[in-house]
């Protein structure tokens, strides 16, 4: 994997109107935050794929602030109905590849890429300003997972340049075994399964996709994990979506935070 700042030019996701309203998974089982194991969990659970913002990283609403800066550069004035409608969509699609979101909002590839570049620049500036922290216990949880012999991959819907800025701000460059953004998986971000399957193929850490664990804070994380065939798809309540939404879109478990994940995975599947 290469560290570049060109992801916004190579992202090739062609989905322009991804919604979650028609993708409810009806066989999902949720548990209380005591992490009682669900029958859907399977295998040795040797590969753990974790979302970043909202799951392992707390950004304090930076997505909204970065969007406002980007939208203003494209002539969308704060306080207008157009701005409010676009912001609602951004918040509703938390977890999705950002370039895909901007394609939906602005209609043309040129405008989408301009908006995405402006968003990534604004977000990186906010990150550099010290406005990003770890979700309490996230680093310890990742270190525990790896100490237990599991491979950990961090994924994001942001471009590589923004992902790297977050990793640098937290001192997390060497924390996980692998980090992935949509461009690393052929350009398609969540809710597609591509990043999860790329983690499976690149690491070779699991014999079967049912040995994969996916954890995230959004419906898109849940859908991505289920579509990839992951045996454990854990929603966490530290980010965008609530228990009901996570369960409706495929969570096999719902946890208070990622800090509870090592204990869950230490239990029999």
pLDDT digits (tens, 9 = 90+) for 119-132: 888 888 888 877 89
pLDDT beyond 50 at 14: no
- pTM of structure: 0.78
> Looking at residue 66, what is its pLDDT?
85
pLDDT beyond 80 at 206: yes
**DSSP string covering 165-204, please?**
HHHHHHT-TTTSSEEE-GGGGTT--TTSSHHHHHHHHHH-
> Looking at residue 215, what is its pLDDT?
98
Mean pLDDT of the chain: 83
Q: With cut-offs at 50, 70 and 90, classify the pLDDT of residue 116.
A: confident
Q: With cut-offs at 50, 70 and 90, classify the pLDDT of residue 218.
A: very high
Q: Which residues contact 102 (CB under 8 A, 6 or more apart)?
A: 111, 112, 113, 115, 116, 119
> Looking at residue 258, what is its pLDDT?
98
- Identify which of 157, 162, 153 has the alpha carbon closest to the alpha carbon of residue 201: 153
> Looking at residue 236, what is its pLDDT?
97
Tell which wins on pLDDT, 44 or 212: 212
pLDDT digits (tens, 9 = 90+) for 72-84: 888 888 889 988 8
Rounded Cα distance, 210 and 84, in Å: 41
Tell which wins on pLDDT, 202 or 240: 202
> Looking at residue 5, what is its pLDDT?
37
Structure tokens at 220: 């898109």
Structure tokens at 62: 């930076």
Q: What is the DSSP letter of 38?
A: P
Counting residues of the chain whose pLDDT is more than 70, the rounded percentage is 84
Q: With cut-offs at 50, 70 and 90, classify the pLDDT of residue 43.
A: low
Q: With cut-offs at 50, 70 and 90, classify the pLDDT of residue 29.
A: very low
Structure tokens at 46: 């040797």
Rounded Cα distance, 108 and 50, in Å: 31
pLDDT digits (tens, 9 = 90+) for 138-192: 999 999 999 999 999 999 988 898 899 899 999 999 999 999 999 999 888 889 9
Average pLDDT over residues 220-226: 96
Radius of gyration, CA atoms only, the chain = 17
């Amino acid at each position: 994997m290469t560290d570049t700042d060109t992801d916004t030019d190579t992202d090739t996701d062609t989905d322009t109107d991804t919604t979650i309203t028609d993708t409810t998974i009806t066989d999902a089982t949720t548990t209380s935050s005591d992490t009682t194991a669900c029958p859907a969990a399977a295998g040795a659970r040797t590969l753990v794929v974790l979302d970043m913002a909202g799951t392992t990283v707390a950004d304090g609403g930076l997505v909204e602030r970065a969007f406002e800066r980007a939208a203003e550069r494209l002539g969308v004035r704060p306080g207008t109905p157009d701005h409010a409608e676009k912001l609602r969509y951004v918040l509703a699609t938390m977890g999705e590849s950002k370039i895909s979101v901007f394609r939906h909002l602005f209609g043309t590839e040129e405008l989408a890429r301009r908006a995405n570049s402006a968003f990534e620049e604004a977000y990186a500036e906010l990150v550099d300003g010290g406005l990003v922290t770890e979700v309490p216990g996230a680093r310890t949880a990742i270190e525990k997972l790896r100490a237990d012999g599991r491979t950990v991959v961090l994924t994001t819907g942001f471009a590589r340049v923004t992902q790297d800025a977050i990793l640098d701000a937290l001192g997390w460059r060497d924390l996980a075994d692998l980090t992935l953004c949509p461009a690393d998986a052929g350009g398609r971000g969540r809710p597609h399964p591509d990043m999860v399957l790329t983690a499976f193929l690149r690491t070779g850490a699991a014999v079967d996709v049912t040995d994969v664990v996916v954890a995230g804070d959004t419906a898109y994380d849940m859908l991505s994990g289920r579509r990839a065939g992951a045996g454990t798809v854990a929603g966490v309540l530290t980010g965008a979506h609530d228990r009901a939404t996570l369960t409706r879109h495929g969570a096999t478990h719902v946890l208070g935070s990622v800090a509870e994940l090592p204990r869950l995975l230490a239990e029999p599947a």
